[in-house]
Structure 1
Amino acid sequence: MFVGRADELAVLTDALTRAAAGEPQAMLVGGEAGVGKTRLTEEFLCEAERRGAVVAVGGCVEIGAEGLPFAPFSTALRTLHRLLPGELAAAAAGQEDELARILPELGETPRGPHDEESTARLFELTARMLERLAADRTVVLVLEDLHWADTSTRHLLSYLFRTLASGRLVVVATYRADDVHRRHPLRPLLAELDRLRTVQRIELPRFNRAEVRRQLAGILASQPDEAFVDSVFDRSDGNAFFVEELAACQRSGCHAGLTESLRDLLLVRVEVLPEEAQRVVRMVAEGGSTVEYPLLRAVAGLGEDELIEALRAAVGANILLATPDGDGYRFRHSLVREAVSDDLLPGERARVNRRYAEAMEADDWLIRAEERVIRLANYWYCANDAAKALPAVLAASVAARRRHAYSEQLNLLERALDLWESAPREIREALRPVDYTDVYPPCGCDPATTPLKRLDLLAEATVAARFGGERERALKLTKTALRLLDEDQDPLRAAWFWTERSRLVSSLARGDGWEELAKAQELVKGLPPSQVHAEVLVRAAGWGMLHSPGPGNLEAAERAAAYARMLGAEEIELNARITVGSLLTDAGDPERGLAEMLVVRERAAELGLVMLAGRAHINLTSQLESMGRSREAVELAEQGVELVKKSRLLDTEAWLSGNMAESLYSLGRWEEAAEAARRGLRVGQSAAPRGSASARLSYLALARGELAEASARLTAAHAHFGTHDSQPQHRIPLYRLAVGIAAEEGRIADVRAEISDAVAYGFPLGHHRYAWPLLLAAASAEADARGLPVADAGRGAALDVLRAAARALATPAPVWAAHADFLRAELLRAEDRDTPADWAGVERAVRPLERPYLLARARHRLAEALLASGGDRESAAALLREAYATADRLGSRRLREDLALLAQRARLPLTGDEPAAPPAPAPDPVESLGLTSRERDVLGLVAAGKSNRQIAEELFISPKTASVHVSNILAKLGVAGRGEAAALAHRLRLFEPLTPAATAPPGV
């Protein structure tokens, strides 16, 4: 009898209906062990089959090193292959070799190169195969026992839930909620999936008393006694499995001996079985989630008749079940298996595992080939036999690597490292690197004849950890290896580990990686040509481009490319050529540089090197933005995101999203820019791309006048970048943000301090794109602050610093020439020497650039200059209207308010249908802000830099009253502090006439 769960079943069947309409569905079903997840799933599957859906079920396997890679997917896909052989073959057409990593029936697993995108590529192919398979029929995929899932299965499930966009597909995953403790590896995945609106989560509660009564009635085929219902309900707490066990014990007469211990409750029905049946049950418990009948027969040591009788007794007692395919046996409930396994004595457990291992070694056909190697490794490991376990575990690590299951490979390699010293020497010396490692052997030895070393395993484990996204573990492995190495005896291997460490330190924001890279360079000097040497040269050239820009880097990058070409290492050569292309562009040869990178992009795509193609996209979009070609940069970034998203290259996607956000900001597409930056922050795995995304969001907030948000995002960017990896492309934009926030808050001393630090830091070759906006922001701050006593004192020296820095900067593109003109005009405004002609030149220079925000600011200043000089009011009004419309569209509150106040003071309309007012006396501009006459006086003194006590003395009021007035003023102006209020007053010229006294109308 199916008891309760009507609401939960309705949710599942509703998902089935939506899937049948072409909308893929993702479901998570959780609950404690024994609460009824499997029963609910079975009922749902019956309904799915009744509706004509194709059903496939796969279960996670609890066995060694986190389980079999992709086990539930392999089982489910094998079912689909059996049910829909032609359709699945068509869906996998052209990608059989890659998909064989998950479904071996499709062919041989290729031995191709491994890289950080290998797993992502496999995930994308799997998702597309499932979409094609479910295009014309409803497919239900159930993955059971997710709490036992291996890392690769969890990652693939997450990818499917995020990316499935079409097809009549329902994916249901079940997990045991009470096993998901705080440190359980499934917990982060559940938290991640909870944030996806496309994933529905069902949590099964325990039964209430009425439901327990119905369940008992179904089991007993009669209405139970109420006292018995009370007893069972109290003992089971409404857990459906415990209700069944208690009812079964009552029927068999063994209930009197029950204790309150869960373990005793689970074991009591096993202990009443015949001795042979108990022995078989114990063997099945140690064999894994499911044990094949041929394997069990080989292990049990019983005649076939005796074994069948023992199995019949265990099945009849509802302890074991035959598997759906009839090939083996499993426990009816995993809780019973765990209890039986825990009840084994240590020596007994080792002996049972040894018998499993020996049986599998004696007969290769007892289990499926793809499971054999990993299960054999686990059996020998649990048998405590290091001599047998070490080669078996290493063979299993190779199998995991071939399936791109790098996290499982890492776990197995770490297990091998633990076994290394325990294994006999002759066993270790018989192992060869060529059989168990895929990392280029940096020692220069023949991997087919040289004995495998522990250092080889550490190198393989380091790369597995990096490919699997576990950089902290990779860093620890390099530290262990370098501690063991004799650098004089094995310099190539040491250089390889130092190069890996440089990469890891940088990606984790623990340093800039130069110290490690310098050690690698020193180690390879004078050695014969090798791939290690080529890799060191390429990384050094790339490091120089990012951290120490200069003409010498181009020569180093070209030398690295030539060296790699000589060795025939095309991937390393292509990587070096991307660096060459970027450096050519920085050095003033943009067309040649862009052409070089485009060629590399095409070749990398042709070779299937998606990560390299992604890097080419990153550098191309960055250089296009540097040349002012923002529209082209956006188009190329969009192509790059689509390319790398398919391969799940998250950091590359984050970098491209950040570059896209920068170009969209330039083009005035601010909402799109914010979304791109948020995407970069969301998907980025390393510190640097997340820092870049945070900086882009800070830029947007600052331009919109959201100072608190801008400051918070700047703090986050600093935290992501850290203090150990100073790259000009990161550092200079942060100076720009700090200057902008300080200026808005009226902290002119902080503006000058930031500029002083920035100039001392320097603006290296190719970084004019970051330096010009920084200098312009500082010049604007100086101009806005004129009249502030604290600002006037040091203005001359501050402006001299800005002029000197500007003279050293290049203007290789019209956009930077326009910035230079804008800066020149702002420096004149800071000295009250600017004229309408100066600003007219700026407006003409900016107008063709597709920089709407910059153009609106230029028009604001031109209108202000026209009005201040008594110039053409109609032209000023047109400029204000155009600038205001842009500021309103962009959502720049700060610029919009500045324009509105200027128009109000000049009595000019901001809309075309509003008539212009004659130049007659206008209301006091301070009163237009909602300030009283007393507050006007107080604001004037605040703007002059007076303290509350000084204001009180001058206005003959108490300091407390002065403080209240200041608080009211800050609230009405919408500013955070006195400095910001003073800056606003001076920026808007609230206490100065807009036109010369001789010609200005009163009040204007």
Structure 2
Amino acid sequence: MLGLVETRSVSPVFVGRTEELQTLNDALARAAAGEPQALLIGGEAGVGKTRLVEEFATAACRAGAVVALGGCVEIGADGLPFAPFSTALRALRRELPDQLAAAAAGQEEELTRLLPELGEASGGRHDEEGMARLFELTARVLERVAADRTVVVALEDLHWADASTRHLLAYLFRTLRTGRLVVLATYRADDIHRRHPLRPLLAELDRLRTVRRVELARFNREEVGRQIAGILAAEPDPTQVDDIFERSDGNAFFVEELAVCATEGCGTGLTDSLRDLLLVRVEGLPEIAQRVARIVAEGGSTVEYRLLAAVAWLAEDDLIEALRAAVNANILLATPAGDGYRFRHSLVREAVSDDLLPGERSRLNRRYAEALEAGPALVPAEERVMRLASYWYHAHNAAKALPAVLDASVEARSRHAYSEQLRLLERAMELWDTAPEDVRDQLRPIDYTEVYPPCGCDPATTPLRYVDLMAEAAVAGRLSGERERALKITKRALHLLEDEGDPLRAAWFWTQRSMLVQSQGRGDGWNELATAQELVRGLPPSEVHAEVLAAVAGWSMLRAPGPDAFHAAERAVEYARMVGARETEMNARLTLGGLMVDAGDADAGLAAMYEVKERAVEDGIAYVAGRAYVNLPSELDSVGRSREAVPILEEGIVYTRRFGLLNSEAWVWANLSNSLYALGRWDEAAEAAENTLRWGRNAKPQGTGAMCLAQVALGRGDVAEAARQLDGAHGYFGTHDPMPQQSLPLSCLAVGVAAAEGRLLDARAELARVLTTDLPPGTQDYGWPLLLTAAVAEADARAVPAVARGRAEALERLREAAKKTTTGAPVWLAHEQWVRAELARAEGRDTADTWSDVVTAFECLDRPYDLARVRHRLAEALLAAGGDDERDRATELLRLAHAVAGHLGARPLADAVALLAQRARLALNHVPEQRPADPVEALGLTGRERDVLRLVAAGRTNRQIAEELFISPKTASVHVSNILAKLGVSGRGEAAAMAHRLSLFPPEDADRLIAG
């Protein structure tokens, strides 16, 4: 790989940078130990960033690492998207062909977007996850290649990076998890002005603790002297060092230029102008070499020799001599492969390019474009379209530039480089009016757009319209995250369509606006969808019509499930089938199945969802399959079939990760967390929730993960942590678009936290706020836990006088809400019984029979924590009833509940069970405790009489003793009479005095019993 490390410095001596190089070497050592490293190297132009990377790369190669270099091209959006990554991956493929092939196995079609050598790219779906999918697969390929060897990926000149390259680099820096990998990037710090697109990325990466920043300072005088000595191969004159140090201000590149000028005799007469300093050695070249340098400067970062020959219009011998002069002067360099030329330093290229006259620049670009059209093989195939578009655009030839730019936008789209696609489409819109009409008439939507809304005309024969470009640009803006620009485009498009009588196109744009409004946090998007629905009402079936109805059904399923949503989903399925829109049909079928489950037809709805999942996986429709892996298990969990959901979710994690469906994967983790919680696998549930927070890129699944962590914390008695996670979940979800599946669980947790902190009035207020309107249909999955949490809070506080006022109203509110909440599945029938039992307990009228029915309902469900809780309540009711048979049954129930609570770490439940067992004198394990000799036994007292005497000694009345020991007052009186007879005393006071005198009960025992 040493041959790939291109040296561009004239100084044979590497000066200074000891600390910076140590940082890089330390990162290499950490990577070799299996900890991926991310570094950013910044500094002004010419300060020595490239030389530092060269030295590090050489050292890394000698240490056995594989180094892959890639550079960003200066022409930004006009260049090939992901160019530095493509170059780096190509280098890896050259050095490690078998390893890269194995790492990319099965995903070649997708990775071809970065590395065309892997094969043919498939069309694929262009959606919000397309670019993220490519990024995830790229990260996994790098991790696999670096699994057994240290790999360094170095990307230079990040300040020129296209948006897609910046996004991919940020993704790698955030998500690299394993592998012996170093990823570093360099950038010009002095170029990063306030509005530079790299600035937000740098700010974001600064917040990542895993990214190290290296800032290169200028050289001091001593270092300048050592650099000059290396260039001159002799000790420089101190006066010369002082002069060069003063004029260069310690900039390494300027030091080189000044030192070389001094040795070549061109140092006299130099001005202090930076531009003059950069051009002085170029102007010292022969005229023909200067001309070639100007041509190379306008051709791009690197110009292929054959393309240069076609543009220069020189005899081959003359061209070679001109190039030799420029290379010997260290102004141009041959590329490592020997097939092209580039400037040794980009500062010189910029100076030469800036020195061109406007007409001269246009003429050179026109010659480049004409040469490339005449000889397409002059440049690599993957670069041809982009470079031709750039050349024609800068040649100011609208007739040629418009189709070329549109071709380039299609190429960008095929690579999931949506930011570049958007910029190119905006450039096409800029060129539209200046391009000749006959040129525009030759353009066809089918060639340039994938979002052409069918409107009864044939896109193969209908000319491309300006509004079609706007449609494609709106989608590109949405997919690239440039949603503000996309919103402006849709607004302009709808304004243009106002007088055209084209309801399908207008409906399509309104649907886009709905998605953009939601993603921008400006509302729930319903007004836009309703407008689209109204526009297509009564029109014949079409793809747009089906998409609008599917969007309406999907929106309603999450926010307002009911008959209207069901009807929209049915029509979407029907219309999509009629027009052959298979993906839309399957997507709508999935929604319809979920709505069927929510409406109570669980078996039919789940069967439909299973079918969609299997067909989507079989047919390779990744987007629908990813959604099925989210929605199907969610619906299974909602009807109590969590055990069935877990293997599907685990399969979904593998599937979504394989296809890079990051948003779907985050939802799968969140849903897995919920299912594991229900099954009593709390540690695994918390781990799944942490994975949602760690790897999720979307706020809403992360909010669900935070809610599950809050639920586990609350169940384990860590109320402070539950409150913290609840606050985090509120932050993830925001306030602009409330959905029942988020707002109801949030309220449930809020009620639970408030009750645990003794704030019952706050809990009541939260419940009253939620129940100002009826719970939406189909939300019983979230409604019953909320009602139950509130009912338990009221029952637990029944003996607290401070909150007695308002209890009757709160209980009635709960009772009325319970009447209106669906109970179609066994799990929700069981919850209904539980809620009603808690309401009875809150009023002091629950019985063993009440709780026995609830326990029976939960014993057939996979809800171990819920079963343990209701068993505890049944045991409490049985002990209150008295009787030996009841005590035996209560003992077994408490033992079972205590075992579950201990396994889960559910401390509040475990403490409640232990306290109840202690007060009832029940052993929670089957092995009787070995007690030392007890003086109480010597007095002939039974175990029950012992407990009664302890309470007598504490001053309890017979009624209080009965309440504490779950016996009747009459039975307590009989026990007291027996105790007085056995002790030979005449009254309760004497019995208490004897107990104290004989120290029959340690003070802490009495205190603990009294506190209990």
Same fold? TM cut 0.5? yes
For 1:487 and 1:752, locate their aligned partners in 2 and report how far apart those are by CA, in whole Å.
54
> What's the secondary structure of 2:576's corresponding residue?
helix
Partner amino acid for 1:815? V
1:652 equivalent to 2:664? Answer yes
Aligned to 1:57, the other structure's residue is in SS state strand
Give deviations 1:466-496, integer Å, cap 9, x for gaps. Answer: 3334434333322221121136621111111
| Residue identity in the other structure for 1:28 | L
Once the two structures are TM-superposed, the CA of residue 167 in structure 1 deviates from its matched residue by 7.1
Which of the two has higher C-alpha Rg? 2
Alpha-carbon offset, residue 604 of structure 1: 0.9
Q: Name the structure 2 match of 1:984.
A: none
Aligned AA for 1:919? D
| 2:433 pairs with 1:405 | no
CA displacement, residues 829-865 of structure 1 (integer Å, 9 cap, x when unaligned): 2112233443454445435534343344334444554
The one-letter amino acid paired with 2:825 is A
- Give the match for residue 72 of structure 1: 84
- Asked if 1 retains the 8 angstrom alpha-carbon contact of 2:422 and 2:473, the reply is yes
1:28 corresponding residue in structure 2? 39
1:50 to 1:757, Cα distance in 2 relative to 1, 3 A:
closer
TM alignment of 1:541-560, pairs within 5 A: 541-560=553-572
| Residue among 779, 785, 796 paired with 1:784 | 796
Partner of 2:861: 849
The question of whether the paired residues in 2 share the 8 Å contact of 1:63 and 1:375 is answered with no
CA distance in 2, matches of 1:236, 1:595: 75
CA RMSD across the alignment = 3.9
Letter of the aligned partner of 1:427 in structure 2? Answer: V
Report which stretch shifted further, 898-907 or 732-741: 898-907
Of 294, 310, 333, the match for 2:345? 333
CA distance in 1, matches of 2:831, 2:122: 55
Aligned equivalents of 2:15, 2:318: Cα separation in 1? 38
Whether the 8 Å contact between 1:628 and 1:813 is mirrored in structure 2 is: yes
Give the Å deviation of 1:719: 5.0
What does residue 701 of structure 2 align with? 689
**For residues 137 and 548 of structure 1, do their structure 2 counterparts lie closer, same or farther at Cα, with a shift above 3 Å needed?**
closer
Count of residue pairs the alignment pairs up: 941
Partner-residue secondary structure (3-state), 2:378: coil
C-alpha distance 553-273 of structure 1, shift in aligned 2 (>3 A): same
2:320 equivalent to 1:297:
no
State how far apart, in whole Å, the 2-side matches of 1:711 and 1:925 are. 42
Q: Given that residues 398 and 431 in structure 2 are in contact (C-alpha distance below 8 angstroms), is that contact kept between their aligned partners in structure 1?
A: yes
**Structure 2 partner of 1:220:** 232
Does 359-368 or 844-853 show the bigger shift? 844-853
Paired letter, 1:576: A
Aligned partner of 2:775: which letter?
F
- Which residue identity is paired with 2:508? W
Q: What residue number does 2:578 align with? A: 566
In structure 2, what is the equivalent of residue 248 of structure 1?
Answer: 260
Q: Is the 8 A contact 2:78 2:387 kept in 1?
A: no
1:793 and 1:19 map into 2 onto residues whose CA distance is: 65
Cα distance change of structure 1 residues 739 and 172 upon mapping to structure 2, 3 Å threshold: closer
Partners of 1:285 and 1:337 within 8 A in 2: yes
Match of residue 153, structure 1, among 165, 169, 185: 165
Task: Report whether the alignment pairs 1:799 with 2:811.
Answer: yes
Judged with a 3 Å threshold, the aligned counterparts in structure 2 of structure 1 residues 671 and 460 are, in CA distance, closer, same or farther, namely same
Cα shift readout 1:141-189 (whole Å, capped 9, x = no counterpart): 4432233222333344455566767777665544344445565444555
Deviations 1:533-586 (A, max 9, x none): 121222222233223222454344233222222222211111111122212222
Residue identity matched to 2:947 = P
Q: 1:126 to 1:746 in 2, by over 3 A?
A: closer
Distance in 1, Cα, partners of 2:768 & 2:143: 58
SS at match of 2:187: strand
- Could you tell me which runs of 5 or more consecutive residues in structure 1 were left unpaired when the two chains were aligned: 927-988
Instruction: Indicate yes or no: 2:719 matched with 1:673.
Output: no
Contact 1:909–1:915 (8 Å) recurs in 2: no
Query: In 2, distance between residues paired with 1:65 and 1:135?
Result: 33
Q: Indicate if the aligned counterparts of 2:30 and 2:37 stay in contact, CA closer than 8 A.
A: no
Correspondence for 1:623: 635
Corresponding residue of 1:466: 478
1:188–1:915 CA distance, 2 compared to 1 (3 A):
farther
Partner of 1:956: none
The CA distance in 2 between the partners of 1:774 and 1:269, in whole Å, is: 78
1:428 lines up with 2:456 in the alignment: no
User: Compared with structure 1, are the counterparts of its residues 813 and 128 closer, same or farther at alpha carbon in structure 2 (3 Å cutoff)?
Assistant: same
| Deviation of 1:995 (Å) | 5.1
Q: In 2, distance between residues paired with 1:180 and 1:699? A: 45
* 2:648 aligned residue: 636
Matched, 1:355 2:383: no
Q: CA deviation at 1:393?
A: 1.2
Distance 1:697 1:190 in 2: 32
**Cα distance change, pair 471–881 in 1 and its aligned pair in 2 (3 A):** farther
By how many angstroms is 1:796 displaced? Answer: 2.0
User: By how many angstroms is 1:403 displaced?
Assistant: 2.1
**1:867-886 deviations in whole A, cap 9, x for unaligned?**
66667778767766665565
Q: Residues 76-225 of structure 1 correspond to what in structure 2 (within 5 A)? A: 76-79=88-91, 97-111=109-123, 113-123=125-135, 126=138, 140-158=152-170, 171-180=183-192, 184-186=196-198, 203-225=215-237
Alignment of 1:706-785 (within 5 A): 706-785=718-797
Moved more, 398-407 or 71-80: 71-80
Is the Cα–Cα contact under 8 Å of residues 905 and 922 in structure 1 kept in the other structure?
Answer: no
Cα deviation for residue 625 of structure 1 reads 0.8
> Is 1:121–1:648's contact at 8 Å kept on the other side of the alignment?
yes
Distance 2:447 2:730 in 1: 45
Instruction: Say which of 660, 664, 668 aligns to 2:676.
Output: 664
Between stretches 553-562 and 567-576, larger displacement belongs to: 553-562
- Partner of 2:155: helix, strand, or coil? strand
Q: How far did 1:895 drift?
A: 4.6
1:515 alignment counterpart: 527
Query: For residue 493 of structure 2, what is the amino acid of its counterpart?
Result: A
TM-score, L = length of structure 1: 0.84
SS at match of 1:849: coil
Counterpart in 2 of 1:322?
334
- Supply the AA of the counterpart residue of 1:219: I
Pick from 588, 605, 615: which aligns with 2:600?
A: 588
> Aligned equivalents of 1:902 and 1:237: distance in 2?
81
2-structure distance, mates of 1:838, 1:747: 28
Structure 1 residues 671 and 508: CA distance shift in structure 2, 3 A: farther
- Find the counterpart in structure 1 of residue 947 from structure 2: 919
Matched residue type, 1:72: P
Which of these residues, 492, 501, 507, is aligned with residue 495 of structure 1? Answer: 507
Are the equivalent residues in 2 in contact too, given 1:123–1:156 (CA < 8 A)? yes
Please report how far the alpha carbon of residue 243 of structure 1 lies from its aligned counterpart in structure 2 after TM superposition: 2.9
Partner Cα distance (1:797, 1:16) in 2: 67
Q: Secondary structure in 1 aligned to 2:741?
A: helix
Q: 1:455 to 1:391 in 2, by over 3 A?
A: same
Aligned twin of 1:935: none
Amino acid at match of 1:609: I
Matched AA of 2:415: R
**Match for 2:115: what amino acid?**
L
Moved more, 192-201 or 433-442: 192-201
Cα distance, 1:396 vs structure 2: 0.8
1:437 to 449, 471, 478: 449
TM-score, normalising length: structure 2: 0.83
Q: CA deviation at 1:736?
A: 1.7
Question: CA 1:99–1:722 in 2, change beyond 3 Å: closer, same or farther?
Answer: closer
CA distances 1:881-919 after superposition (whole Å, capped 9, x unpaired): 665565555455555665666677778788878779952
Structure 2 portions without partners, runs of 5+: 1-12, 932-942, 955-959, 977-1005
Partner SS for 2:516: helix
Equivalent runs, 1:825-840 vs 2, <5 Å: 825-840=837-852
Q: In percent, how many aligned pairs have the same letter?
A: 65
Specify which of 525, 534, 539 is matched with residue 527 of structure 1. 539
Asked if the contact 2:137/2:660 (under 8 Å) is kept, the reply is: no
Structure 2 Cα separation of the partners of residues 34 and 798 of structure 1 = 73
SS in 1 for 2:453: coil
Q: Mean alpha-carbon deviation: is it higher for 340-349 or for 566-575? A: 340-349
CA deviation vs aligned residue, 1:206-256 (integer Å, no higher than 9, x gap): 445544433222112122344544554455454432332332233334445
What is the Cα deviation at residue 774 of structure 1?
A: 1.0
CA distance in 2, matches of 1:631, 1:517: 37
C-alpha contact (below 8 Å) 2:76/2:160 kept by paired residues: no
